[in-house]
Chain A
């Protein structure tokens, strides 16, 4: 196979900062960093609780330190942004037909958001009931 000279257009290194739409796109993609952090945080929480009361107290001190709270506030905003954008994506990724009738996108997205609300309420109830 002969190697063809490839065409590489020049791109500004900060191309994603040059338009609002691009910036929102990149911010949306970067919510995944906080998805990973949140998953790791839950593992740390589970590890501490399973290890014993002393380890759990240590974890609570760590979780209460200002920088961890600040990080988690950002993580809350990022994961909520992820939820809204990801659940809105579903009707674009799939077309649901019922007996030939195309279910409109807002019903699919609305169903997803209702499920989000229901799951959140259930989790909050299970965790917080005494």
Chain B
């Protein structure tokens, strides 16, 4: 019998890749740009500084990858959490395309913004 091919292993790969990237990078970025700078605890980096940070192609590629992976991580986790909380396995037909579709849309927007 031929094994049925499913995209699930790749989705789990994106989930765990995104989990690691989010774990290593997000807290410090949220701390600086989301909490300390808006509260005035530190001097907010001026626009020119942020532009200079985003200038190297490698940084923009990395940021696009980080955003994409984080979104797919969240999509995967939200999909299964909602299904477990509601015991709604039958929702998967709708929920899976909705979650991954949103993650894909967000990734495309990030690429359009950065390039």
Contacts and interface: CB of A to CB of B under 8 A. Distances in A.
Nearest to B103: A36
Contacts of B77: 29, 32
Q: How large is the interface on A (under 10, 10 to 19, 20 to 34, 35 or more residues)?
A: 35 or more
Interface in B83-107: 84-87, 106
Contacts, number: 151
A39 B78 contact: no
Interface string A1-28: 0000000000101011000000000100
B72 to A, nearest CB: 10
A49 B34 CA distance: 15
B38 A124 contact: no
Interface in A61-120: 63-64, 68-69, 72-73, 75-76, 79-80, 82-83, 86-87, 93, 112, 115-116, 119-120
A124 B27 CA distance: 11
A124 B42 CA distance: 12
Contact of B87 (A11, A83, A123): A11
Given A39-B70, A69-B38, A45 B106 contact: no
Nearest to B33: A45
Given A32-B77, A63-B37, A76-B35, A47 B113 contact: yes
A120 B24 CA distance: 7
Given A73-B35, A82-B22, A46 B30 contact: no
Interface string B20-38: 1011111111111111011
Nearest to A127: B32
A50 B27 contact: no
Given A38-B29, A42-B33, A119-B25, 12 more contacts: A35-B26, A36-B71, A39-B22, A39-B67, A42-B29, A42-B66, A43-B106, A46-B54, A49-B50, A83-B22, A86-B19, A126-B53
The 6 closest A-B pairs by CB, nearest first: A72-B34, A49-B50, A36-B74, A32-B77, A56-B47, A120-B28
Interface of A: 11, 13, 15-16, 26, 29-30, 32-33, 35-36, 38-43, 45-50, 52-53, 56, 60, 63-64, 68-69, 72-73, 75-76, 79-80, 82-83, 86-87, 93, 112, 115-116, 119-120, 123-124, 126-128
